[in-house]
Amino acid sequence: MSDIFGYKDHRRYLSDYYEHKKSLNPSYSYQILAKKCGFNDKSSVYSIIKGRRKVSENRIDAIAKGLELNPLEAEYLRHLICFTQAKTDSGKKLFSHRLYELRSIYNGKKLGTSNRFYRDLYKFRSTWYHCVILSIIDMHEFKGDFRWLASMVTPSITSKQAKESVELLCNLKLIAKTTDGLYRITSDNPGVCKEEFFKAMDVVHQAFMKLASNAIDTVAPDKRIFSGLTIGISSGTYEKILDELMMFEKKIQKIAQDQQKS
């Protein structure tokens, strides 16, 4: 079975763990697993797997011990349970962030990659203005005037935030300072970025949606465009519209690329 770091729900992990043990030993039972995890009631683990019973905080250590998890795996299980049982979006976001960090530490050890790289990668995708800074540097000649760089971002950020963002982009090798003192986009980014960059995109999408919502009240009408359409469509038409949106997105990317070449 897969290691725990590939799971996003503790109930699925417990279910797969049980099935794996059962395949190795046909006499293995929920009662055995429940006892190993410190439960007296043999139906406890089964009830957890089926979502009929929550896991209390004081039970997690015993469960981790029963599953024979190492300290890093046990820490992941703790936050996995908290994530699954969280009742609010803010709670889920908090534990999701921690789960990502733990997966990053695990992947770093497995691949021999610096843990810092994965933490920086998460920062890039979970803070909205880093990709904005990256685009500004791609469009303008930037030599380290962080006050100017911060002034180019809307909503405003501080010069300190702009400087920290540039340092982050350098650490990720997305930009580099050249011999003429200019910061430029690098041509070959680490291959792992392509696979990992989108792990936290839900966070940055939420941030951009909030910025867009605030813009209705904070940005002049001639500086923004908002439009909406309420229609009734079939599932087939919905798929066609998605295809059109994807094509339009590619067209916008091409327009932006052509502008940079000119």
Summarised one tens digit per residue, pLDDT across range 181-232 is 999 998 655 444 444 444 455 567 777 888 889 888 988 989 888 888 899 9
Q: In the chain, what are the domain boundaries? A: 4-112, 113-226, 228-262
Mean local confidence (pLDDT), 237-249: 89
239 vs 195, residue with greater confidence? 239
CATH label, 4-112, candidates 2.30.30, 3.10.450, 1.10.260, 1.10.1200:
1.10.260
- Dist CA 113 CA 119 (whole Å): 11
Q: What is the pTM of this model?
A: 0.54
Query: Residue 250 above 90 pLDDT?
Result: no
**Cβ proximity of 159 and 147 under 8 Å:** yes
Q: Average pLDDT of 84-98?
A: 84
Burial class (CB in 10 A: 0-12, 13-18, 19+), 125: buried
- Spatial distance between the Cα atoms of 19 and 25, rounded to a whole number of angstroms: 10
CATH of domain 113-226: 1.10.10
Count the Cβ atoms, other than its own, within 10 Å of residue 132.
16
The label of the residue with tokens 């697993």 reads 33
- d(CA 66, CA 231) in angstroms, rounded, equals 54
Digit-coded pLDDT (tens) for 115-157: 677 677 767 877 889 989 999 998 899 999 999 999 999 889 9
Same fold, 4-112 and 113-226: no
CA distance 58 to 161: 40
Q: What is the pLDDT of residues 16-73, one digit of tens each?
A: 999 999 999 999 999 999 999 999 888 899 999 999 999 998 999 999 999 999 988 9
